[in-house]
Amino acid sequence: MLNISGIHEGYVLDHIKAGMSMKIYDYLKLGELKDATVAMIMNAKSKKMGHKDIIKIECPLGSIDLDIIGYIDHNITVDVIKNDTIISKEKLSLPKMLKNVIRCKNPRCITSIEQELDQVFVLTDEKNEVYRCKYCEEAYSGK
């Protein structure tokens, strides 16, 4: 049995679909976080999911964008930890807008040539989880 100690302040992302944790690590830009310690538990046994991934992040609260996790998978649970105790469980929902999280793949889109233009996607269909580029309105299909 693998044991990873609890964290003093930060977040525990649980119920991540097995194999998805590296993707989440990249989306959250955890590698760029200074003063953060990250533990990734992959393919852990789960009664509910069969197998799952877990990410534990020891970092000051407020330093990660929970909205992005909502976009990746709003079934992920987020425990917010302070002074070694869970102070809240965040309920995730699909963010209305994503800024610089995903890139437009339409070669005809202005984002392909305009310098330093933010990549902005807007949630246009919540039921089917469709995001469209703010500029060319092409639906994002690479999730």
Partner 1 sequence: MRHCMSPLDFSVEELDELMGLAADIEKNQQKYSHACDGKRLATCFYEPSTRTRLSFESAMLRLGGQTLGFASADSSSAAKGESVSDTIRIISGYADICAMRHPKEGAPLVASLHSEIPVINAGDGGHAHPTQTLADLYTIKSLKGRLDHFTIGLCGDLKFGRTVHSLISALVRYEGVHFVLISPEELKLPSYIREDVLEKSGATYEETESLEKAMPDLDVLYMTRVQKERFFNEEDYVRLKDLYILDKNKMQLGRDDMIVMHPLPRVNEISVEVDDDPRAQYFTQAKKAVFIRMALILTLLGIQVDKNIPQPSTEEGGSKC
Residues in contact with partner 1 by the rule CB under 8 A: 106, 108-115, 117, 124-125, 133-139
Q: Specify the long-range contacts of residues 33-42, CB closer than 8 Å, at least 24 apart.
A: 33/57, 33/59, 33/63, 33/64, 35/59, 35/60, 36/10, 36/63, 37/7, 39/4, 41/2, 41/4, 42/18
State in angstroms the smallest separation of the CB of 107 from partner 1: 9
State in angstroms the smallest separation of the CB of 143 from partner 1: 16
Choose between 11 and 135: whose C-beta lies nearer to partner 1.
135
Q: Are 92 and 129 in contact (CB under 8 A)?
A: no
Amino acid in position 120: V
Choose between 16 and 109: whose C-beta lies nearer to partner 1.
109
State in angstroms the smallest separation of the CB of 127 from partner 1: 11
State in angstroms the smallest separation of the CB of 98 from partner 1: 16
Choose between 54 and 133: whose C-beta lies nearer to partner 1.
133
The size of the chain, in residues, is 143
Choose between 63 and 112: whose C-beta lies nearer to partner 1.
112
For residue 134, give the nearest of 116, 110, 108, 113 by alpha carbon. 110
